[in-house]
Amino acid sequence: MPQAVPTDLLEIAEALVPDAPLGSARLAEEGNMHHVVLFPGVAAVRISKRPNAAAELPRRVEVLRAVAAAGLPFAVPEPLTAVTTFGERAAVAISWIDGEGLPEGIGDPAAFGPLLETLREVEISPELKAVLHTPRRYADGLGWADILNDEVVPRLPAKWRDGVRQRLDTLLALEDVPPRLVHGDLGGSNVHFGEDGKLTGVLDWDLAILSDPAIDAALIATWHGWDVLRTTDEKTRRRARAWNDPVGIEHLHAVFTGKPLAHVDGFVRAVVAWLAIHPVSA
């Protein structure tokens, strides 16, 4: 639930949206990279937590601009201000998106099927290519398959290693598909619906990439339930399962960056916790 806003964050938000009603300001649920101050119906202000998030914020704003220019049939956040620095912090105001996310386990296939199809059919503009990363399986040891095989699987409990390797081999055996716009964090509070049940907008494009559309299908299914994919084609459902099965689709964004894992042990702990609930066997 939204919380009261600390004074230092409220001052930054007020500087960017001076006409917003301060009495309405609320702090969104905590994210890893940013605080988000909400002015319902007016704007949201993203404020970096750490220097690396501040350095990354301009690129994330360019991603929003490129996505907004793609002509999607639902609302997406658009920058209302330039990225502004406040000491070590950086902040930007973005447009408000009406509606709310759905609880875990709830979702209408009639809504999510068209959403996946829309994203799959987005024309990949030069602007999107310029700001979005295309993850590679193998890339001088920093491809996502390299990292999983070399850095993650050897650190897993022995009882799960062979099973994870087998599932990873199944994923790697999938035929390549042309990279499309992948949101990378679909589900939960990022997909908003109105009171009439219609999709109103999609938030938080920080993890967007150019890759297999089945990644988004898997992300939707792990939050809303796999039955939500029943209106999609069998190929997409099969690929979505393959993406999720090795270590949990929600963890893969960390290995899609083309960079070394910043905290390998923490990543492995998260995967082990997932495997404890979704055990694999050879």
Find how far residue 114's CA is from the centre of its chain: 19
Structural domain range at position 242: 109-277
pTM of the predicted structure, to 2 decimals: 0.94
Residue 213 structure tokens: 């559309």
Q: Are 141 and 223 in contact (CB under 8 A)?
A: no
pLDDT at 59 over 60: yes
State pLDDT tens for residues 156-204: 999 999 999 999 999 999 999 999 999 999 988 899 999 998 999 999 9
| Burial environment of residue 20 by CB neighbours within 10 A (0 to 12, 13 to 18, 19 or more) | buried
Q: What is the 3-state secondary structure (H, E, C) of 151-198?
A: HHHHHCCHHHHHHHHHHHHHHHCCCCCCCEEECCCCCHHHEEECCCCC
1 within domain boundaries: no
In this structure, the answer to whether residues 61 and 161 fall within a common structural domain is no
Q: Which residues contact 148 (CB under 8 A, 6 or more apart)?
A: 168, 246, 247, 255
Q: What is the Cα–Cα distance from 128 to 63, expressed in whole angstroms? A: 7
* 185 & 265 share domain: yes
CATH of the domain at 27: 3.30.200.20
Q: Tell me: do 114 and 242 sit in the same domain.
A: yes
Exposure pattern of 159-192 as b/e (b: 16+ CB <10 Å)? ebbebbbebbeebeeeeeeebbbbbbbbbbebbb
In a domain, 223, yes or no: yes
Q: Let me know: does 162 contact 154? Beta carbons within 8 Å.
A: no
Domains contained in the chain, number? 2
244 shares its domain with 270: yes
Q: Write the CA distances from 53 to 48, 82, 143, integer angstroms.
A: 5, 16, 23
Return the percentage of the chain with pLDDT > 70, whole number.
98
Q: Say if 70 falls within a structural domain.
A: yes
What is residue 187's predicted lDDT score, i.e. its pLDDT? 84
Contact 109, 224 (CB under 8 A): no
Q: What is the pLDDT of residue 203?
A: 96
Q: For residue 164, which of 144, 148, 143 has the smallest C-alpha distance?
A: 148
Contact indicator for 63, 51 with CB cutoff of 8 Å: no
Q: Is residue 103 included in any domain, yes or no?
A: no
Among the candidates 95, 130, 151, a domain finishes at 95
Residue 267 in any domain: the answer is: yes
Question: For 23-47, how does the pLDDT look when each residue is reduced to its tens digit (9 = 90+)?
Answer: 999 999 767 889 999 999 999 999 9
Whether residue 100 lies inside any domain: the answer is no
- Asked if residue 85 and residue 136 are part of one domain, the reply reads no
Residue 251 has pLDDT above 60, yes or no: yes
Domain-embedded: residue 210: yes
In a domain, 24, yes or no: yes
* Rounded Cα gap, residues 192 and 236, in angstroms: 23
For 37, the enclosing helix (H) or strand (E) is: strand 34-39
Which H or E element spans position 34? strand 34-39
Answer yes or no: do 147 and 233 share one domain.
yes
d(CA 144, CA 168): 11
